[in-house]
A and B are shown apart, each in its own frame.
Chain A
C-alpha cells in the first residue's frame, strides 16, 4: 500500500512554455503533499508543502508565481512550472502523507525529469 504516482516521468519542453506535473496517491488519501527538486549529484530540496483545499506554503527562495501548486483533492496535487527556462531543468519529486495519521512516513513518487531546451 501507500503508492504515489507521478506523471509524466520525463518531459522535454521549450523555453518559455509551461509544464504541469501530476502527483497522485493511488491507494490512500493525502491531506498533505510535498514537492521537491533535485539537481544532479545533489540532495532533494523541499520546494513547497501542499495542503488539500488551501494555498501551498513555499520554502524560502522558491518563487510561488513560477511554481504553481494546486491540491484540489485528497489524491491529487499538481505542480506547474510556468515560463520554463533551461535552469529549471531538474528532477521533480512529490511525496504524500496519509490522512488522519500521526507519526507517519512520507511516500514518494518516482519523480519527473524535466528538460527545458
Chain B
C-alpha cells in the first residue's frame, strides 16, 4: 500500500515555482523518496529521487526534511507542459522492490 499523502490538487502560475508537498511519516531508514509525474494517458515519467540529502537535477529539486517524514518537490519555473499528476512514492529502490502509487497531486499550471 502507498505510504504517502499528497494534496489532491494545486495550481501554479506559469513561470513561478511549483512546490509540491508529500508526507511519508512511516518511511523506514533504507527507503528512498521517488517522484514521478503522469501526463494524461501516458506512462509515468521519472523526475527525481533521494534518500536524505536534498537533490537537484535538470527537471526539479527535492527537499527532504531532516526527520525524513516529509518532502517537497520544486519545479523552479513551471510551464504549461508541467501540468500533470505528480506522485510521491516511498520504496526501498532495490530491484524487485514494489512501487505503490498513492493518489498524487494534480498540478495545473495557469497561463
Q: How many A-B residue pairs have CB under 8 A?
A: 71
B29 is an interface residue with CB less than 8 A from chain A: no
Q: Which residue of A lies closest to B34 (CB)?
A: A105
Q: In the complex where A97-B96, A104-B94 touch, is A43 in contact with B102 (Cβ < 8 A)?
A: yes
Q: How far is the CA of A97 from the CA of B46 in the complex (A)?
A: 12
Chain A 75-116 residues near chain B, CB threshold 8 A? 91, 93, 95, 97-111, 113
Question: Nearest Cβ in chain A — how far from B102, in angstroms?
Answer: 6
Residues from chain B with a CB closer than 8 A to the CB of A36 are: 101
Q: Is the CB of B49 within 8 A of A105?
A: yes
- A49–B95 CA distance with the chains assembled, in angstroms: 11
Per DSSP, chain B at the interface is loop
One of B12-20, B36-44, B64-72, B76-84 contacting the partner: B36-44
- Chain B nearest CB from A46 CB (Å) reads 6
> Do A103 and B96 touch (CB < 8 A)?
no
5 A-B pairs (CB sep. < 8 Å): A51-B96, A95-B43, A105-B46, A108-B44, A108-B46
